[in-house]
Amino acid sequence: MPLVAHSPLPSFERLNSQHSQEVLSLDQALKQDIRELHIGFLNMMPDAAFKVTELQFLRLVGSSNQIAQFYIHPCTIPDSSRSPEIQAYIKEHYTTFEALKEDGLDALIVTGANPIGADLRDEPFWEKLQEIINWSKANITSTLASCLSTHAIAKSLSRIQRKPLSKKRWGVYSHRVTQSEHPLLLDSNTRFDVPHSRNNDVSRAQLEVAGYKTLVYSEEGGVHLAVSPDQFRLVFLQGHPEYDRISLLKEYKREVQRFIAGEREIYPPHPENYFGKEAAKIVDYYQELVYAAMEQGNEIPPFPEAQIEPHLDNTWRDTGRAFFNNWLGLVYQLTDVDRKIPFPPEIDPNNPLGLNKK
């Protein structure tokens, strides 16, 4: 069932008009005798990716075919360094964590963030995120953490220390399902692609020693999907199923522009397994043009984004949709209707999915 446009959040209109995704008006939703799910969306992304990430996650939620209406409640952690434009956007369209606590939620999505240092405890979001996660453990059926928030929550709850990678893990990697019987992977392929983009890693060994279960793993990309010992209350993602086809291209372009501006010493490598033969030819020739122009002191030509884009493939969206469909379906099944308690009394909170423990 579709998202409900219960507020004037611009992403609702964009999904409806530009992405051909059904979004119900509030009047339409109230006329339907269908139970709703209320999902918090904690957006911690930097300004450049703030609205895009919001749209990407809402698209995944809205593409689920569960018999429910999805009310998305975006919030963020106050940050005075944000641009006036994003500050105004937040003021107009976002709510506060305190308001969400008062009203209650069924599930919570926590995005990644832009790291500023090696120690996560020094991040500006650290203290507030601890408060939010501690509240969600007791009051929300399931919390889904993405990328850096996975690292932060794993450190906070389980003393897992992320490790810096020798080089950025950046590209599209093939993954295999390690526990195909888990309901989060119902009807998923046993092997599928997922984009990654990060400089640090939490390993499979670290997670499993702490009691977490790895569900999807890649020899190249590492852990993509893991869950807490109870199998569902906490869901970790290190990959990015929400990414658009051009998300890695945008990141690559930004890194090229940083090189041109003198902000990085080495010209960026290709994101791994992302550029096909034709796209690679275009980006490699542009690199030659950049070097030649810099050598001669000439103006550098614009990045050929429009020429590259038609040669890119999205090989992860269907699997991402299937995963979100399963996650929201389980939230729907396991959440008490009045949302006052995370699990109905007859469900064992230590094994809510009734899985065989191994």
Enzyme catalytic residues: 147, 240, 242
Alpha-carbon distance of 179 to 134, in angstroms, equals 28
Alpha-carbon distance of 244 to 356, in angstroms, equals 36
Strand bridging mode 222-227 / 107-113: unpaired
Taking CA atoms, 205 is separated from 119, 143, 209, 212, 242, in Å, by 21, 22, 6, 10, 25
What's the per-residue H, E or C state across 223-289? EEEEECCCCCCEEEECCCCCCCCCHHHHHHHHHHHHHHCCCCCCCCCCCECCCCHHHHHHHHHHHHH
Tokens for 345, please give them: 């009394």
| Residues 45, 201, 145, 258, Cα dihedral to 10° | 10
Alpha-carbon distance of 88 to 283, in angstroms, equals 37
Quick check: 196 and 169 in contact, CB under 8 A? yes
Tokens for 263, please give them: 């902000």
Residue 231: how many CA atoms within 13 Å on its side-chain side? 20
